[in-house]
Amino acid sequence: MKNLELLTDLYQLTMMQGYLQHGYGDKEAVFDLYFRTIPNEGGYAIAAGLEQVVEYIENLHFTEEDIDYLKGLNLFDAQFLKALSDFRFTGDIDAIPEGTPVFPYEPLVRVKAPIFEAQLVETTLLNLVNFETLIATKAFRVITATGGGSVAEFGLRRAQGPDAGVLGARAAFIGGCQSTSNLLAGQRYGIPVSGTQAHSWIQCFPSEIEAFRAYAKSFPDQCLLLVDTYNVLKSGVPNAIKVGHELEAEGHHFLGIRIDSGDLTYLSRESRRMLDEAGLYDAKIVGSNDLDEHTIWAIRAQGAPIDAWGVGTHLITSKDTPALGGVYKLCAEGKDGVFEPRLKVSENISKITNPGIKKVVRFYDRRGKAMADLIALEDEQFEAPLTIFDPVQTWKKKTLTHFTTKELLKPIFRKGKCVYDLPPLQEIQDYTRKEMDTLWDEVKRLTYPHKYIVDLSSKLYDLKQELLHKISLEVNEVEDSCK
């Protein structure tokens, strides 16, 4: 992820110049990156995109070409352009590791830096984290619907551009997909690649059986045949059985068939019966055709004997929720390491921010199941028994008597230097599976999931109320002075 310094909104640079002009360039600031609503009406999200954040920060600088372009806009003065020419990120970044289940209002990334630097990275961090978190979450939902079955991601042709196709494939792998059709993603991230033939291959030959035999000859040990070009049950499967027997007679293993249209439940049942009656018990059935988690769940509930799934458009675009509404909000500012909490107020309760430098603590019961998360101030420690409460419906309380804890935010950058070892992608996928196993199945339910508890610590709640009261008094004073 190189040369992304101008992948930002114009107003980031206008604010940065303003900070310099008004003597605020050295002011230190802390920003939280978080989301307010779980995508897909689900019970969780899965953090992703951190590797790209690290690459972006490490490569962040402005070239002469960048400076010439900005100069040509006739918006920026020489002092500001010189500051950009010398720009390097010097701050601290903490983040929740990729593959961790996360919930609304929890800081996924926390940036502590001179505000001149912290302001610049906002747009790109949101772009990277929002998208990959969204797709990793969607992928895990699809995997859940299959009952842990094998899923191939092949949405590249429907992705919103090349970057979305490649990074989406990466995020889908984090969420549990076993392979991708995307060769560039395979090369770049080491994701296993998969694919056979399209309908055009079948149509190109004089007959379906000739097309099947030609493919089997070219790839005798990787022969999975697409059987719905003409008629699945009257033509495709019978011809696939003939080729399967021919391969087996030559000492090869016939992989199976793929059905890409029609009623997948009925067609897969009949195909399984025909394959078994022909003695091809090990031949697999792959289902595709504009699938999402809800369709897959319904097909499986009807007893479809589908062994693996190909999922494209709905996965790579997260079609039902095409954007994660992540935000990047100032929560503290100061100088020389001394910070004052800051709060943004809104008539919309969900948009009132949580002030101060915070951490996220996850509480586990004796079985290792996650019970609740607490958003707390950085210096807080917790011992049992601990009573937590809903920050909005404060009468909803829960006392935790036996627990272990884990702080989710990990150091990524310190003074501009990366201090975090990026794990291999396969390790991230394994970590995702392990972390998602700590959630109760009710939280992972595809529809009407149980709401996981995310509360504010008492200390953070009191600070927030204190600042709200103070701001209310100041606003009233301004209103009175205008009368």
Domain spans in the chain, listed from the N-terminal domain onward: 10-115+329-474, 136-316
Residue 227, C-beta contacts closer than 8 angstroms, at least 6 positions apart: 235, 236, 237, 239, 240, 257, 258, 259, 271
CATH class of 10-115+329-474: alpha beta
Cβ–Cβ contacts within 10 Å for residue 339, how many?
18
**What's the confidence (pLDDT) of residue 278?**
98
Q: Please report the pLDDT score of residue 474 as a whole number.
A: 85
CATH pick for 136-316 out of 3.40.228.10, 3.60.20.10, 3.40.50.360, 3.20.20.70: 3.20.20.70
List helix spans (H) across 157-232: 162-174, 183-189, 199-204, 208-218
Q: How do residues 25-79 score in pLDDT, each as one tens digit?
A: 889 999 999 999 999 999 999 999 999 999 999 999 999 999 999 999 999 999 9
Q: What is the pLDDT of residue 478?
A: 75
User: 365: alpha, beta or left, given left = phi > 0 and alpha = psi -120 to 50?
Assistant: beta
- The answer for residues whose C-beta is within 8 angstroms of residue 450's C-beta and 6 or more apart is 43, 440, 442, 443
Tens digits of pLDDT across the chain (483 residues): 568 999 999 999 999 999 999 999 889 999 999 999 999 999 999 999 999 999 999 999 999 999 999 999 999 999 999 999 999 999 999 999 999 999 999 999 999 999 999 999 999 999 999 999 999 999 999 999 999 889 999 999 999 999 999 999 999 999 999 999 999 999 999 999 999 999 999 999 999 999 999 999 999 999 999 999 999 999 999 999 999 999 999 999 999 999 999 999 999 999 999 999 999 999 999 999 999 999 999 999 999 999 999 999 999 999 999 999 999 999 999 999 899 999 999 989 889 999 999 999 999 999 999 999 999 999 999 999 999 999 999 999 999 999 999 999 999 999 999 999 999 999 999 999 999 999 999 999 999 999 999 999 999 999 999 999 999 888 877 766 776
- Tell me the C-alpha distance between 241 and 245, whole Å: 6
Is residue 434 classed exposed, middle or buried when 0-12, 13-18 and 19+ CB atoms within 10 A define those classes?
exposed
Estimate the share of the chain in helix, then strand, then coil, as percent rounded to the nearest 5: 40, 20, 40
Give CA 54 to chain center in angstroms.
Answer: 16
Q: Hey, CA dihedral for 198, 202, 208, 209, is it positive or negative?
A: negative
Using CA atoms in the order 265, 271, 272, 276, what is the torsion angle rounded to 10 degrees? 170
Give pLDDT, residue 482: 73
* Residue at token pair 């792998």: 173
* Predicted pLDDT at 441: 97
In this prediction, residue 454 carries a pLDDT of: 98
Q: Are strands 150-153 and 179-180 parallel, antiparallel or unpaired?
A: parallel
Cα dist. 58→53, 109, 116, 132 in Å?
9, 16, 17, 19
Strands 410-414 and 370-377: unpaired
The pLDDT tens digits for 103-155 are 999 999 999 999 999 999 999 999 999 999 999 999 999 999 999 889 999 99
pTM recorded for the entire structure = 0.96
Nearest CA to 245 out of 279, 209, 197 is that of 279
Q: 251 exposed, middle or buried (CB, 10 Å; 0-12, 13-18, 19+)?
A: exposed
